Amino acid sequence: MSDEGLRSRILEGGAFLAVRKAIGIAVSLGGMLLLTRWIGAHQYGTFATISGIWIYVSDLCINGMNACLIREGESGGRKPLDLAFTSILAASGAAAALGAALSPLIGDWLRNPDLVWPFAAMLAALPLNALQIPAMAVLERELRFRQIALIEMNAQLLYYGVALGLAASGFGVWAPVAGCLAQGAATTALGLFHSKYRPAFHWDAALFARMFRYGFGHTVSSRIMGLRSLVAPLLVGRFVGPEGVAFVALGVRLVESLGFAGAAIQRITFAVLAKIRQEPARVESAMNQALLAQVLAIAPFFAGFSAVAPWAISVFFGSDWTDVLRLYPYMTIVCFAASIFSVHVNILYALGRNAAVIRFHLLHIALFAGTAAALVPIAGLMGYAAAELASLLSYAAVHTPVSRLYRMRYANAFLFAAACVPCLFSSYLPLPWGALLFAPLLLLVTAPSPRRELLRMGMQAFKFR
């Protein structure tokens, strides 16, 4: 595929994913608003705990097979797809049985017996991954992001339809659990339909060893980072309670929702870099363009929400949720860093240099979880915020191996990100003093050179062929 053809596929796919994410924001925030109001902070925190643990276990069972299938492309035919189905099914079945047996112990540790049966129900759905992963990998490696966007949007709508219907009827934590089960089933069914993949059992020891080696390296690195999602359920849940987990979960959801455009770029980066990984000049050019694109994609939404956050949280979620405002700036700063350096992580994965990513993730989680373990029992939610800041030091570890391969130009990306940081803390000060924190960003975007750069990138983004 030519540079121009690849570029057109990237932009078109990114546009579909960005639109899907934009619609998802409206659906997610609106649905989350009603869900949190109807089931309350305690029940929502219980669900967030269940969901965080479930996602972690689910990714362990997948063992990086999705990334392996995308990287392999169509060269292997059906065998890798069927082998992935077989291995994920076996791992998911074993994990579901073990997790259900351990769920009472988890409830005791978190001092929250309400999560035992909902957690067991979520675990029962783990084997769906065996069908879903190969089907979605077919679509993703073919860059069929339009179908992916439609599948995810319809599944999300079903989630909130089920969850809100049950929440309004007083089902508490079971409402979002049932919504998740419906969402997983819909994603699997639609993925199978669009990909035309039909599962079959297959075993090839040599092929499994090769896929397992790549997948294991990918899983180890990503699941080390995935330990982040367990800090809130296991530490905040124990020392602050389910309400604290709910505040963290809402903050994470807000940051993820507002970062929808950056997530769309990140989503396609791995597939694209995997295609051009043998061409260093193209890789370097694509990566340096992506650095600034990532920041510009998320900065307007994070800064804009900062201006209305105190009013929005209080009016839409209620005064009981204002503690989220204390966490939002710290989570957003880390999101900026993660967006920029996601480019580095993706090229390392595409090149098969999983060990470098593992080292980065080990340092990241050691800083984050270690700081949280030390400070959450003492400072509560602000201890969690301090852990977010401590994790920033780890990004030097992912810069080093990439800088040995490519010349990275950070100046513009770091400048725009730094200009956004003061306004993130505007909710900490009363008006009009809080408004003054937007001055650095306003000065930057009105300066001639940054304005020209914004215009240039905007024109590129909408120039479809």
- Give the pLDDT of residue 366: 93
CA angle 157/69/140 to nearest 5° reads 40
The answer to whether 109 and 238 have CB atoms below 8 angstroms apart is: yes
What is the secondary structure of 261-277 as a DSSP string? HHHHHHHHHHHHHHHHT
- What does the pLDDT read at residue 465? 36
Cα separation, 248 vs 323, in Å, equals: 9
State how far the Cα of 119 lies from the Cα of 246, in Å rounded to an integer. 16
| 215-250 pLDDT per residue, tens | 776 667 667 777 787 888 888 988 888 889 899 988
Could you identify the residue written with the tokens 């804009």? 304
What is the DSSP track for 190-220? HHHHHH---------HHHHHHHHHHHHHHHH
| Tens of pLDDT, residues 91-142 | 999 998 888 888 888 878 777 788 888 988 999 889 888 888 898 988 887 7
Question: What pLDDT, on the 0 to 100 scale, is given for residue 448?
Answer: 66
Query: Is there a cis peptide before residue 432, judged by omega within 30 degrees of 0?
Result: yes
Give pTM, 2 decimals: 0.72
Instruction: Spell out the domain ranges in the chain.
Output: 1-226, 239-465
Q: Which amino acid is at 420?
A: C
Low pLDDT (below 50) residues in the chain: 1-2, 459, 461-465
Q: How many residues does the chain have?
A: 465
Three-state DSSP at 142 gives coil
